[in-house]
Chain A
Amino acid sequence: MAVATKHSPEDYKKSAQRAQNTAKVLRGLMWVALLIGVVASLIPFYLMLVMSLKTPGEIAASSVWEMPKVMQWSNYSKVLQNQNAPFFMFFRNSMIISTTATIGVLLSSSMVAYAFARLKFRGRDRMFNILLSTMMLPGIVTMVPQYVLWKYLGWIDTFYPLTIPAFFGGGAYNIFLLRQFLMGIPRDIDEAALLDGANHSTIFWRFMMPNMGPALATVGIFCFIYNWRDFQGPLIILNSPEKQTLELGLQTYRAMNQNQWELLMAGSVIVLIPILILFFVGQRFFVKGIVMTGIK
């Protein structure tokens, strides 16, 4: 049983003040915790950067934290000038593959998502279940038969296996995200347009696509990064050194230069820079886009 106590306005003021103070302290503590966390998670990058500027002797002798005595920028030029691992070529290849695949995914997954989100047809929900279940299919299962397929198409050691399939469906995950987003757009738009005699492709291109901007940006960035980081696909399909992607090229470079850590780390930095730039440019779409697609 609660006993009512009398509070003077002073008391309220005081307790409000106290609450505010606690909140302030709490916020300060949180800020410190976040800072520690960030530093911890960025330390590996610091180590990488420092090591990439040391001489082999320094790596063997000095502590991991220590800055190099003289910055060995030549490590970077050594990596970039290596004839057997053309990093500029790797970059170009990664760019071509990731961009093409992303375009393909955006086009095809938005179309498919539109059908699943806003049209009624026989077997739709069960077909969507099938689509979702392909999310569970490990890539390695279809890898060998796909390899056989690429072989018959003459696509081994070309970019086609890494780009063309994106134009045919664009992946269950992406379709799922875009469908969620499309389901949130009010139905009145389509109904009004249909009454005006528009067909579905008009609705899709004229009304849906323009509204899907943020969602497409999110899916696009995810997809670009996914393709940029893909290792298993290029590992199996690309053979020629000048066709390899950055991710695979780094591994190739590593195989040729075992234990030369200053070069390996310089190579890693080189591989990381483009994706970091892309991320900083497109970062505002991440959180915003995900909120809008309403993952649930």
Chain B
Amino acid sequence: MRRLLTLLTVFVCSFLLTALSSAEITLRMSVWDGDKALETIKAIAKNFEKENPGIKVRIENYDYTLYHQKMVITYAAGVAPDVVMMDGSHYQFLAARGALLPLNQFFEKSPGFDINEFYKPIVDSYTYKGDLYILPRDIAPIGLIYYNKKIFEELNIPFPDGTWTWDFHVRPELRDKDFLWVCQQMAKKDKDGRYTRWGFAPFDYGNFAENLALQLGALRYDNIAEPTKSLMDAPNRIKAYQFASDFSNKLHLGPSNSDAAGSLMMTTQQMFVQQKIGMYQCGIWEVPNMRKMLKPGSPEWFDWDIALAPSHAGPGGVKKFTTGGSGYAIMASTKNKEAAWKLTSYFSGPPGMTAMAKAGIAQPAIRPLALQKGLWLPGPETPIEEQFPKNRIITDTATEFVQFDPTSEFHISVSDRQNKGLELLWNGQTTAEKILKENQIQAQDRLDILRAQHDLPDFNWIVAAIIAAIFIGSILFYIYWPERGKKGTQMQVEETRSSYKFLSPWLIGMVAFTLGPMILALLMSFADWDMIRTAKWRGTQNFVEAFTTDPTFWKSLTITAIYTFLSVAISICGALGLALLLNQKIKGVALFRTLYYIPSITSGVAAALIWMRVFNPEKGLLNYILYGPDGKWALGESLSVSIMGEATKRVDWLQTEKTALIALIIMSAWGIGGGTVIFLAGLQGIPQHYYEAATLDGAGNMAKFKAVTLPLLSPTIFFSSITGIIGAFQAFTQAFVMTQGGPNDATRFFVYHIFGNAFQSARMGYASALGWVLFVIIMFFTLVQMKLSKRFVYYEAEAK
């Protein structure tokens, strides 16, 4: 009997167990890795699924530039992934709002897990107010220089041993101990005086400048964890940033941004591979790419290695490098905490990191793994193509000198202002002093506003309800008051009833999707709300901020207005002219009509990509036309002098403050085919007998156009200009894809400004206020046009 019972229990238990385990869990995990690293990530996930039956993993990959906004809004919407890749400059925003789970509770009870095995600096930087939020996966000090051994041998310079220093000028007396001297030796020019080889380039000049600033002891904030002051205009920071710009633009020791991305259309990494630069600064993550492009034995191959980057030599100079590095965090919204931890510790732990290290993608944050020969460091059995770079031990040395990003929840939003317009500096179009002082003011304003959030009162629902009631009341009043108390006949009542039947879809949609959200937006415009915390009451402060302290408000409004008027004017004149031509009896006119229409249906992103090539300084179509095939036409040269300030530089349309907006206006003219169709329809609606009558009266072509075409077409012009202005005021996609609002906010359209505040800085209240301002502006312009139209627009019906 007892046996039977035991058997039965075992049976039931095993049944329950299988039932439980077959209740499969799916964990969603989001990453921002590029195409290449994704393969490894997916392979690790497959292994995890094998070792943990019952758990499925779904990898979601996002664009890094939108990654953090996505995490914030998906968390706010309750659809966030379970495990998310995170980095040191973005997690604090989520951690401060309780959106990430503190990991201490998990690792403290995980047997065999030792947090002390991880590099300490990265653990410290992922700890927010005493709790660890990201389990570090890799550490990637950007204190490495990839160097081309062949060039060093050619110039008879010994390979770098990491003891380099640099100062603000070349020091020939130090020879190869001076970094700048080495760079200078490597530079090469062709017979026209154009550089064909440079000494050094960083993967990103912003990062290069930041490294220099750190070495001069200039930090971004007075306190990186609890900042009260942004320090973008500190003298040493200005000095460092100016030097980073001069390095390429004045000293020509490296290719400038426009040399690299512009003329050669390649990243500085590609330049290194093609031996156009001797040294390249970046984190270790580029190794798989390098190995792929420089296969031993291939014609491209040359011997290369890595060395510790130089540090500043002057007094007070410290050895400091910025760093990459990332890890995995668990969203507080996950329903499977334990499984999520399993996955996190698998990916950041030995199983995941072994695979990542072997692929050469990431230096493990677990130090024993990072030091293991044959894994991260090359060992005797490492295949030849994975031997490079040999000197990988310095990735360990470099971690002593890393400085992590600021660790406050405000940094994402403030850094948007701190780094504004720096691309102009790297192109040599402005000075560090000018741009950093401007950025400092905006960054400090932003920081003050964000810091004040905590002290705001709760959202005032009573006032909000009153505002909403007034809004709804005035609409109803407008519709029904003039006809109040009218009694209809039986038939009229019937007709009203069936009218409402027909209107019902619209009425529902209007209330639910337009009017309701509009009122909510109006209420939100009085709030301070980040989508996660409860809303606070800011009263009219959002509007006051817009009109008084937000410098980008006026700037973006101005450029949007300029864009709108010019692009609408061009498109109306162009479309009218084109329609007149297309209305003639010409051979193949139907085909012409079709072909002209094509650009206006082109996908916005694809169009933006093509036009980026058209505006490219060296290989672009526009400059090809302006400068001629040999690049020596006078028109181009005078343009260069007046816009770029130098006769030898070609206009970099999208990267120059003065021309970026013009470029977008030119691009908008490409879409005139859309307006042409409407004008064509208008032209075809003009009765032919008007023209016949005019001909009989002896009118010439010009007179006919003035007396017949224009007046009869005026309603079409009116219609086109109204819809054109409404559309142009909302321009967004071009700026989003092509310029990201830059350079220096020169194409930060108003809608982009709203978008940035709403989704990049998570300031929904302020964004709503801006949205309402835009609505009122558009309404104003439409009403003005309506008023003017009474004078200029000719309606046939009225004349009859």
Contact = CB atoms under 8 A, between A and B. Distances in A.
Contacts of B755: 140
Interface string A110-152: 0110110001111110110011011111111111111111110
Interface of B: 34-35, 38, 42, 60-66, 70, 73-74, 76-79, 264-267, 270, 475, 478-480, 482-483, 486, 488, 492, 495-496, 498-503, 505-506, 508-510, 512-514, 516-518, 520-521, 524, 578, 581-582, 584-589, 592-599, 601-607, 609-611, 613-614, 619-621, 624, 629, 670, 673, 677-678, 680-682, 684-685, 715-716, 719, 723, 726, 729-730, 732-733, 736-737, 751, 754-755, 758-759, 764, 767-768, 771-772, 774-775, 778-779, 782, 795
A223 B42 CA distance: 39
Contacts of A112: 502-503, 505-506
Given A236-B759, A239-B79, A271-B606, A134 B514 contact: yes
Interface string A255-294: 1111101001101110110011001100100110011001
Given A147-B73, A232-B732, A268-B610, A261 B265 contact: yes
B516 A145 contact: yes
* Contact-residue size bin, chain A (C-beta under 8 Å from the other chain): 35 or more
A271 B754 CA distance: 28
Contacts of B270: 259
A169 to B, nearest CB: 4
Interface stretch (A10-18, A38-46, A67-75, A95-103): A38-46
A252 interface: yes
Contacts of A200: 495, 498, 501-502
A284 B749 CA distance: 36
Contacts of A150: 77
A229 interface: yes
A119 B101 CA distance: 59
Interface string A141-180: 1111111111100001100000001011110010100000
Nearest to B508: A168
A33 interface: yes
A296 B716 contact: yes
Contacts of B581: 30, 33-34
Given A44-B614, A169-B506, A241 B61 contact: yes
Contact of B771 (A44, A140, A248): A140
Nearest to B36: A256
Given A136-B779, A137-B514, A246 B77 contact: no
Nearest to A289: B681
A141 B483 contact: no
Contacts of A43: 621
Interface SS majority for chain A: helix
17 contacts: A34-B582, A45-B598, A107-B505, A114-B502, A131-B506, A140-B751, A145-B516, A145-B517, A148-B520, A167-B505, A168-B505, A229-B601, A247-B603, A268-B603, A276-B598, A287-B681, A291-B684
A294 B782 CA distance: 21
Nearest to A173: B723
A271 B685 contact: no
B771 A141 contact: yes
A250 B606 contact: yes
Contacts of B503: 111-112, 115
What 7 pairs across the A-B complex have the smallest Cβ distances? A168-B509, A255-B63, A141-B771, A145-B520, A145-B517, A268-B606, A115-B502
Interface in A18-71: 27, 30-31, 33-34, 37-38, 41-45, 47-48, 51, 59-60, 63-64
Contacts, number: 331
A84 B60 CA distance: 9
A83 B41 CA distance: 13
A48 B610 contact: yes
Nearest to A42: B595
A76 interface: no
B795 A296 contact: yes
Contacts of B500: 121
Contact of A119 (B73, B502, B513, B619): B502
A92 interface: no
B732 A121 contact: no
A15 to B, nearest CB: 14
Contacts of B498: 119, 199-201
B516 A149 contact: yes
A111 B502 contact: yes
